[in-house]
A and B are shown apart, each in its own frame.
Chain A
Amino acid sequence: MSIEIRNIRKQFGQFTALDNVSLDVASGELLALLGPSGCGKTTLLRIIAGLEKPDAGQVLFGGADATNTHVAERQVGFVFQHYALFRHMTVFDNVAFGLSVKPRRERPSQEEIRERVMKLLKMVQLDWLADAYPGQLSGGQRQRIALARSLAVEPKVLLLDEPFGALDAKVRKDLRRWLRDLHNDMHITSVFVTHDQEEALEVSDRVVVMDHGHIEQVGRPDDIYEHPATPFVTQFLGDVNLFHGRVDAGQLTIGNYEQALSQHQDADGDAAVAYVRPHDLDLSLQAEGALAQGRVEHIHAVGPVVRVELQQADGQTIEAAVSKERFRALGIVPGDTVYVTPRKLAVFLKDASGQQDYVI
């Protein structure tokens, strides 16, 4: 079922959690709401679920207005950040809960409930834990039980609040892949909230990047990563180096470095910032065509990529990531002076965004 969010506004006292947010979620889509804490992503999720009431705006499920529909009647599955399993019930009773509270007319028989619960438990590969209490499970197991519980009532929409937030790295990776597979099998419209850009980019069909109650950008993960629409998105999606310069009629100038840009043709000597990801920076020992220079401070050579930290004359650090082969060919050691050239950069004019000096 598709979800439409129209001009949602939500205040908590003086704090604006959501400011005129509109968003469409296509049927069967797996959508990520990504943003730093306090950006309004969880509030938006809870408004979709009906756990929170918007001050203004509408939520439509499958084209029908659901703004005033009670949570219990929205037919959503909600997985809470800390799972919220019923601690006094066994795993079986937890998963069966949604079915057993149905009105007598709609309630399946005991055997049917047992069958469906065991099927779900098999699906999350935890059928052998049916008799256990939540306190006896690991974090990853609890998460899967919480998911099974929300799926038991066959929801039209599945909402997950930081589903992997409280798990350790290894379990998190496994569960991510597992959720992706599950979604491929079930095709249930799903929205999940995360502050982890890697998670959002890896798992979802589309990513919504939010900040300060606004939607900054919506798009496919690769699209958002390759073409960030705002400085905030650029910075939030991963490590990035900042270079301050000017743009004049599509020509970028940073110190002695010059480059023609495809955008900003009408810029008139405007101050601008160029954002370059560490892996888009090449290192060289020649000054020719260099964007900047710096002294090698640290070299992290763990894994296939070598991360090199440079210190510029003004004290700013530059981080570059080069392949092991390139690093060996250069033969640099801490203390050397090296030059960086960008393979790809994103340029934003200062007045256009207003929050240029936001540094991560």
Chain B
Amino acid sequence: MATLTTESRPVRYALTAVALVFLFLFLLLPLIGVFWEALHKGWQLYLSALVEPEALSAIKLTLISAAIAVPLNLVFGVAAAWAIARFEFRGKSLLTTLIDLPFAVSPVVAGLMFILLFGANTVAGSWLQDHGLQVIFAVPGIVLATVFVTFPFVARELIPLMQSQGADEEQAAIVLGASGWQTFRKVTLPNIKWGLLYGVILTNARAMGEFGAVSVVSGHIRGETNTIPLHVEILYNEYNFVGAFACASLLALLALVTLLVKSLVEWRLHRQQQASTLRTAEARMQAQAAQP
């Protein structure tokens, strides 16, 4: 209904232009810049920067920590959201606040927290070291820090969704004789799957891209405790721009892929709904035709 808009045509164009210019300057241009820097000296250099052992090790470590952090926070997030959205209990508001803690605390402080907890001079740290497990300046610390900073995403995504949907459908399932697990699998999960998927995408992006907390606990041991973001920083500080941007482009690519997956999933859902609407309309017409 273009006739209902009150702004005149030049105003509308001007506002649209401002928005587009802003998007271009702050989102598109940096993205293009990353790929340009990575590729402007040719594919050969780009690829060799990615397959050198230290880069490969960083990629591997990033994938490992994401592979641990994402499933863990998926389970924690769903459990926490379920508890908060469905039950009344003492300390509920405290729990809600605690879930936000990783967002409220600076990642560097989060990293330092783990050093204070598991560092070599602490009780827990030295005990673990005596039993052959080094946490700080090693892979376990990186995983812990990653789990910590990515904890809120899934829960934050699900709590408002589950609260707005209410418990009626779950109660209906239970009255119909479904067990707790059946109710979760057949009713709760399908209802929250899009929110859950989005939460997982965000968790994954942050797990792979986390810098501050991981930087504190990692110790920057090349080829051992470097993740992609840390590796990018080291290369950049060494003026190895092609290498730095090649690795950075991996993270940018990850962002693009997740966006693509999300749009694809949404598009398929939309198609399904359209098909069902069409079938219903047909059925309705047939039913009307059948009536005398």
A83 to B: closest C-beta gap in Å:
8
B169 near A153: Cβ-Cβ < 8 Å: no
Q: A97 in the interface, Cβ–Cβ < 8 Å? A: yes
Nearest CB in chain B: distance from A300 CB, A: 38
Interface assignment of A25: CB less than 8 Å from any CB of chain B: no
Q: Interface on chain A toward B: helix, strand, loop, or mixed SS?
A: loop
Task: Say yes or no: is A128 at the interface (Cβ < 8 Å to chain B).
Answer: yes
Indicate if A36 sits at the interface (CB-CB under 8 A).
Answer: no
Whether B174 pairs with A71 at a CB distance below 8 angstroms is yes
Q: Which of B174, B176, B177 has the most CB of A within 10 A?
A: B176
Contact A80 B172 (CB under 8 A): yes
Q: Are A97 and B191 in contact (CB under 8 A)?
A: no
Q: Answer whether residue B235 sits at the interface, using C-beta atoms and an 8 A cutoff.
A: no
B276 and A136 form a contact (CB under 8 A): yes
Please encode chain B, from 242 to 285, with 1 for each CB lying within 8 Å of some chain A CB and 0 for all others: 00000000000000000000000000000001001101100110
Contact A101 B190 (CB under 8 A): no
CB distance from B240 to the nearest CB of A (A): 50
Given contacts A87-B169, A132-B283, A136-B276, contact A97 B178 (CB under 8 A): yes
Which one, B19-27, B179-187, B205-213, B226-234, is touching chain A? B179-187
Question: A192 interface residue, CB < 8 Å from B?
Answer: no
B286 contacts chain A at the CB level, 8 A cutoff: yes
User: Is A77 on the interface with B (CB-CB < 8 A)?
Assistant: yes
**Residue A301, interface by CB 8 Å:** no
| Chain B min CB distance to A45 (Å) | 12
Tell me whether A302 is interfacial, beta carbon within 8 Å: no
Q: A133 touching B174 by the CB < 8 A rule?
A: no
Size of the chain A interface, CB-CB below 8 angstroms? 33
Q: Mark A20-43, 1 if CB is under 8 A from B, else 0.
A: 000000000000000000000000
Residues of A within 8 A of B179 (CB): 72, 101
User: Given the complex, which residues of B lie within 8 Å of A136, measured CB to CB?
Assistant: 276-277, 280
Shortest Cβ distance from residue B195 to the other chain A in the assembled complex, whole angstroms: 13
Chain B residue numbers with a CB within 8 Å of A149 are: 172, 176
Chain B CB within 8 A of A129 CB: yes
* B171 interface residue (CB < 8 Å to A): yes
Is A84 at the interface (CB under 8 A from chain B)?
yes
Let me know if A101 and B283 touch, CB within 8 A. Answer: no
On whether the beta carbons of A131 and B171 are closer than 8 Å, the reply is no
Which residues of B43-72 are within 8 A (CB) of A?
none
Contact A82 B168 (CB under 8 A): yes
Interface centre among A82, A86, A129, A149 (most CB of B within 10 A): A86
The answer for the CA separation of A71 and B180 in the assembled complex, in Å, is 11
Q: Does residue A57 face the partner (Cβ distance < 8 Å to B)?
A: no
Question: Which of A51, A89, A90, A150 is in CB contact (< 8 Å) with B176?
Answer: A150
Contact, CB under 8 Å: A80 / B177: no
Q: Mark B152-186, 1 if CB is under 8 A from A, else 0.
A: 00000000000000001101111111110010001
- Residue A219 CB within 8 A of the other chain: no
Q: Considering the chains assembled together, what is the distance between the CA atoms of A49 and B171 in angstroms? A: 11
Partner of A101, one of B168, B178, B191: B178
Of all chain B residues, the one with the shortest Cβ separation from A70 is B174
Question: Bound state CA distance, A131 and B284, in angstroms?
Answer: 11
Among residues 35 to 84 in chain A, which have CB atoms less than 8 Å away from a CB atom of chain B? 49-51, 71-73, 76-78, 80, 82, 84
| Cα distance A260–B182 in the bound complex, in angstroms | 67
Q: Is the CB of A97 within 8 A of B186?
A: yes
Q: B2 near A: Cβ within 8 Å? A: no
What's the Cα separation between A149 and B177 when bound, in Å?
12
A88 within 8 A of B: yes
Contacts known (A84-B169, A86-B169); A128 close to B177, Cβ less than 8 A? no
Instruction: Give complex CA distance A104, B177 in Å.
Output: 13
CA–CA, A141 and B101, complex, Å: 46
Smallest CB separation, B234 vs chain A (Å): 47
What chain A residues lie within 8 Å of B277 (beta carbons)?
A: 136
Q: Beyond A97-B178, A153-B176, list 4 extra A-B contacts (CB 8 Å).
A: A72-B179, A86-B190, A88-B190, A136-B277
**5 smallest beta-carbon distances between A and B, as pairs:** A84-B168, A98-B176, A128-B287, A132-B280, A84-B172
